[in-house]
Structure 1
Amino acid sequence: MSGQGEKGQGQRHKAVIIIGGGFGGIAMACQLKRKLGCTDFCLLERQSGIGGTWRINTYPGIACDIPSPFYSLSFSQKPDWSTFFAPGKEICQYLEKVVDDFELKDKPHLDSEVCSCKWNPKTKLWEVTTRELLPGLGDLSSAERQQILETKGPSSVYLNETIWTCTLLVSAVGGLVEPAPWPANVAGKDKFQGKVIHSARWDSNADFRGKNVVVVGTGCSAAQLVPRLLESDYGASRVTQLMREPPWVVPRVTPPLGDNFYERWSPLLCSYVPTYMRAFRALVALVTELDFQLFGASRSSKRKRDNLEQKLLQHMGETVPSKYHEILTPKYSIGCKRRIYDTTWFPCLHDSRIELTTLAMESVDENSVTLRPGPKTHPTEKNLETRSVPADIIVLANGFAVSRWFHPLEVVGSKGTTLQEEFDERGGPQLYRGTALDGFPNMFFLFGPNSFTGHSSVVLGLENQVHHAIKLMRPVLAGEAETVEVKRPAVIKYNEEVQSDLKRMVWNGGGCSNWYVAPGVAIPCHTRK
């Protein structure tokens, strides 16, 4: 751990503190050094390593569903991606190499849980309180750590507490951090004698061979991991997959000239012909971003959605068993929820060992799960009787807790109010360009509300936010200004424009519920807004 800038025992000072060691934190660290020549900063990371989402998610089959050349930092391209859609481990290795290339290995402070960030109006500094975790405990979910804390006491979780001060504070806390909890309406978890595993905290020691597995969810993670459970490496005896609503499933695109050409020749071309690498990335970015035409309310957008939906329904009909055709037909517009880019989930539904159902999980016993018709059950299954299915392992692929931004981080601004209180008072999460808020001087947010749609590369919007923040940090770090803060009228005006625009988008009128939209406020926005 770097001890530069210490101000006495248990207190340290940095010009800039970055919270989070994933894509956002690493991008900000690189640009602080590249653009501003600033080296007096650190990254506070709760996990035991850098990489964020791509380090902590290790479930079978995890991979990016955005083409690799576009899902990478523009100023630090990787020429030799192994596939067009990189596996999670390779993305994590890429981020580690970026840190090495920019000589930032001394910047991350790992196993550091940020408890609170408070603005001190007298010193014009942020005071950041952290607790050092025992190695490895930062990789657990907040609920798992809390359970250890309650049963074994603070010494089983924490080593010491440190108060940092900094001139500028950056939150690079991602939204896909905390696993969604066990469904509150499902009783009997304590009775269950098998393993309960969340896809976001995979247990690599779990033995699936010959086991009866119940998978809760049919989102992106579930679509990647379920086929793997049926392969010889895992060898599950039976998989029962529970679905609330069918996703729109898009056949995964192939690179120009095919996968074999890309995997064999693209690393060589990108390594030795830099112009080719830049041009290829630009082409991939253009094609990916053109998808945004699907999400508007114009006649043209609706026509494009209708045409694409017909093609995808035809693909589904040709790919999955006929018994699943009705329950896999979405009743909402494409784009309202995040799409699944699939090459293996639909085909695996032909395997006799898997059952897909819209029956709801009612309760859990020692070695079984009770299913019954519920509010989301498809009409074709409404008349089915309540039944039990054997279960040795339950896999929760039910997503992440994304309803509260930056939770459980407590951020107190210049008015003495918390970030969450400000959001509540304003009617929902909102930031200026997803990056700043009045009352929180010298603080910048990455991955903030109204920043990303989930339908394209998050890295594009992320780099735009970093670029915006860097320009505003420059005068403060140069000593030309003491503080920088967006004005409240600008925040209000910007949010009104965003909300007006988003009322006409598919996320609000597409006929589904989704995690893009908070009660009374729309979350996503075009990354170029």
Structure 2
Amino acid sequence: MATGVHSLAPEVGQTPIIVNGEIPAVNGGNGHSHPTPTTKSDFKVGEFAIDEDRPIRVAVIGAGYSGIIAGIRLPQRLKNVELVIYEKLGGVGGTWFANRYPGLACDIPAHSYQLTFEPNPHWSAFYAPGPEIRQYLEGVVEKYKLMRYIKLNHEMTTAKWNADTGKWNLTVIGPEGEFEDNVDFVMNCVGGLSRWDWPDIEGLENFKGKRVHSAQWDLQKEGDKEPWEGKNVAVIGVGSSAIQIVPAIHYKAAKVVNFVRGKTWIAAPFASSEIQIRNPGGDTHHFTEAEMREFEDPEYYADFRHRLEDELNAVHGATQRGHPIQAAAVQIFKEAMIKKLEKKPWIAEHLVPTFPVACRRLTPGPGYLEALCADNVDFVPKHIKRITETGIETVDGQHLDFDIIVCATGYDTTFRPRHPVIGTGGVNLQDKWKDHPVTYLTMAVDGFPNWFYSLGPNSAVGSGSLLVLMEREIEYIIKIIGKAQKERLKSIEVKKEAVDDFDEYLDTYFQQTVYSQKCRSWYKMGKEEGRVAGLWPGSTLHALLAFKNPRWEDFNYEPLETKKNRFYWLGNGWTVAERDGLVGERAWYLNEIDYPPVPK
């Protein structure tokens, strides 16, 4: 019927006869599908429209890439959200604000290390310098006016779940002192490479020269003179930071000595075909003004980005044991390293690994091997016994004097929170993750309702774009928060059995990968063997599909109201547009038509 009111007729074409407001029984029935209630329910519908989502407060911890994405997408996707972003540093950008060491640069193509919805056609180089990435992030924050949410120099020091109120009680220290904040949801966007420590080397504190950690670079110029100019500098480590620092400083230093205790693969450039088109035979490329003008053509730029990421996502096979791509990578990388070390071939014997490519984090390291071959650079593959007031003594008794010691020795990669996070029953996440972190799809933990991670344990990838994965994690979490908001839930908590199953999947999956081989890596929390806690169990594309839609059956829910009826969230039968008489907004479904393709 045109009015949308339907009647029940005993036969087609006949109008039902109504007796005392009821349809009489047909063929012995009583005309009802359910018996008439004998007692009146005390349930009352909610005094709100179905799309009048309850107000909630969300705290985001960290203003790096993930926190910035959350700051953009949360207000876009959800209504009635009060948002605060706590950042312990004095600026936005996370690791790109904290790290200031010489040579700092992106180790994947810059055009793949940007937000999918915020393309930047003006990167100066294939591997963009750190200051450019920081400037890019600051520009995104300014464009989307995120400083209205961000509180700089504010560090969360304690988080405690209140089961009665369904809120997280946060303790925060800022310029105004210590205060508490009660929020409905927490999105932890700190990341796994944000906490650094000095290496455990005897006598480090006794050194009378200048010592600096790559993650807290505080060496200042003396006028126009670099602080390492004409100085003897020790660089401890062979991770991504050391590989960038050595070639950046050796030109002006009197002497650079790189102390290396392990081996590492120096990768061929990622998405190298795009480099070879512009710089045949090169390891990197600096874009010309003409090339950047070409990138300003949206169609051309979109095609370039698509080719770039298609190539990045083509090498997942290199992470699998026995895969042809893995075998080819070993041969190609080994030949390239040996060739670049021709001037000092003995270095290759100590640096070229016997473990598979990608077992530890790969970095292209443009210029690193060439720097090791410079006359003023020494490579010392010996363990350090101790640090003295004037320099470094190795285990064989050799002592070298230095003006500056650079500790490029990495981060705390255990993922254990630095501050207490207390969930249900008083369980501290620091204790729960004492041996290794356990999560559900990297984002949730049982016993910690309304607490979610972006770029948490097992979120990094061995190949492909990390930024798009962060974006999808944020979208996934927002869907969960939106469900709690719309359905008026006090809490959403992942089931323990779901966490256990994902944990089992992780362990089983990584046995088939190169990450299970013996090599020291932050992927395995700094150990040579053991649990892989840093990487997603699959490719980037695999992760994107896994994050597409939440599996609601893997969560437990507690309602906000003490109502027994699961449909309380339906409200009073109205929508906001109808109730408030919003002209033009009462036919919104016509703006969401999905036109099906017509077969030819």
TM-score bin, normalised by smaller chain: 0.7 to 0.9
- Deviations along 1:342-368, one digit per CA (max 9) or x if unpaired, are 221111122111100111111222212
Runs of 4+ in structure 1 off by over 4 angstroms are: 259-262
2:295 equivalent among 258, 265, 270: 270
**Shift in CA distance, 220/278, structure 1 to aligned 2, threshold 3 Å:** same
Letter in 1 for 2:78: L
Q: Give runs of aligned pairs for residues 412-451 of structure 1, distance below 5 A.
A: 412-424=422-434, 428-451=436-459
Q: Does 1:191 align with 2:206?
A: yes
> Against the structure 1 CA distance between its residues 222 and 81, is the aligned structure 2 distance closer, same or farther, given a 3 Å change threshold?
same
- What's the offset of the Cα at 1:290? 1.7
Which aligned pairs between 1:153-302 and structure 2 lie closer than 5 A?
Answer: 159-183=176-200, 186-205=201-220, 207-231=227-251, 235-252=252-269, 253=272, 254-255=274-275, 257-258=277-278, 262-271=287-296, 273-297=297-321, 299=322, 301=323
* Matched positions, count: 467
Query: CA 1:14/1:483 → structure 2, altered by over 3 Å: closer, same or farther?
Result: closer
Match of 1:69? 111
CA distance in 1, matches of 2:186, 2:508: 30
Report the CA distance between 1:41 and its aligned residue. 0.1
The answer for the alignment partner of 1:371 in structure 2 is 394
- Structure 2 counterpart of 1:341, one-letter code: P
How far 1:423 moved relative to its partner? 2.8
Paired residues of 2:56 and 2:80 also in contact (CA < 8 A): no
User: Pick from 324, 327, 336: which aligns with 1:315?
Assistant: 336
Alpha-carbon spacing, 1:16–1:522, altered in 2? closer, same or farther (3 Å): same
TM-score by length of 2: 0.74
- 8 Å CA contact 1:14–1:42 kept in 2: the answer is no
TM-score, normalisation: structure 1: 0.84
Q: Would the aligned equivalents of 1:113 and 1:130 in 2 still touch at CA under 8 Å? A: yes
- Give unmatched runs, 5+ long, in structure 2: 1-54, 222-226, 280-284, 544-600
SS in 2 for 1:395: strand
- Give the whole-Å Cα distance in 2 for the aligned partners of 1:58 and 1:14: 37
Q: CA deviation at 1:486?
A: 1.6
Once the two structures are TM-superposed, the CA of residue 286 in structure 1 deviates from its matched residue by 1.7
Which residue in the other structure is 1:396 paired with?
407
1:305 positional shift = 1.9
> Alpha carbons of 1:423 and 1:304: their partners in 2 closer, same or farther (altered >3 Å)?
same
User: Which residue in the other structure is 2:553 paired with?
Assistant: none
Task: Show the 5 A alignment for 1:452-491.
Answer: 452-478=460-486, 480-491=488-499
In structure 1, list runs of 5 or more residues that go unmatched.
1-12, 134-158, 374-385
Structure showing greater Rg: 2
Residue-by-residue CA offset, 1:129-178 (whole Å, 9 max, x unaligned)? 00115xxxxxxxxxxxxxxxxxxxxxxxxx51110011111100111112
Contact 2:416 2:437 in 1 (8 A): no
State the AA in 1 paired with 2:177. Answer: N
Q: Deviations over 1:34-82 (max 9, x none)?
A: 2224652011000011110001101001000111111111122222222
Query: Which residue type is aligned with residue 326 of structure 2?
Result: R
Percent identity over the alignment is: 29
| Paired residues of 1:173 and 1:406 also in contact (CA < 8 A) | no
Quick one: distance in 2 between partners of 1:365 and 1:483?
55
Q: What are the residue-to-residue correspondences of 1:118-129 with 2, within 5 Å?
A: 118-129=160-171
Give the whole-Å Cα distance in 2 for the aligned partners of 1:118 and 1:304. Answer: 47
Out of 501, 505, 508, which is 2:513 matched to? Answer: 505
Letter paired with 2:423: G
DSSP 3-state at the match of 1:341: coil
Which residue identity is paired with 1:440? F
| 3-state DSSP of counterpart to 2:92 | coil
- Which residue, 346, 365, 387 being the options, matches 1:342? 365
Contact 1:14–1:165, Cα closer than 8 Å, also in 2: no
How has the CA–CA distance of structure 1 residues 311 and 112 changed in structure 2, closer, same or farther, with 3 Å as cutoff? Answer: same
**1:27/1:216 CA distance change after superposition, 3 Å:** same
| Kept in 1: contact 2:416–2:433 (CA 8 A) | no
Shift of 1:406: 4.5
Give, in angstroms, the shift of residue 422 of structure 1: 2.5
Judged with a 3 Å threshold, the aligned counterparts in structure 2 of structure 1 residues 248 and 160 are, in CA distance, closer, same or farther, namely same
Over aligned residues, Cα RMSD in angstroms?
2.0
Quick one: structure 1 residues 442 and 490, their matched pair in 2 at CA, closer, same or farther if it must change by over 3 Å? same
Task: State the alpha-carbon separation in 2 of the partners of residues 435 and 276 from structure 1.
Answer: 36
What residue in structure 2 maps to residue 146 of structure 1? none
The alpha carbon displacement at 1:262 in A equals 4.3
Q: Deviations over 1:480-512 (max 9, x none)?
A: 333222222222112211221112111112x31
Structure 2 counterpart of 1:49: 91
The separation in 2 between residues aligned to 1:73 and 1:37, in whole angstroms, is 23
Distance across 1 between alignment mates of 2:68 and 2:254: 42
The AA in structure 2 aligned to 1:371 is T
Aligned partner letter, 2:203: G
Give CA-to-partner distance per residue, 1:195-228, whole Å, 9 cap, x none. Answer: 1111111123162122111110111111111112
C-alpha distance in 2 between matches for 1:75 and 1:402 = 30
Say which SS state the counterpart of residue 521 (structure 1) adopts.
Answer: coil
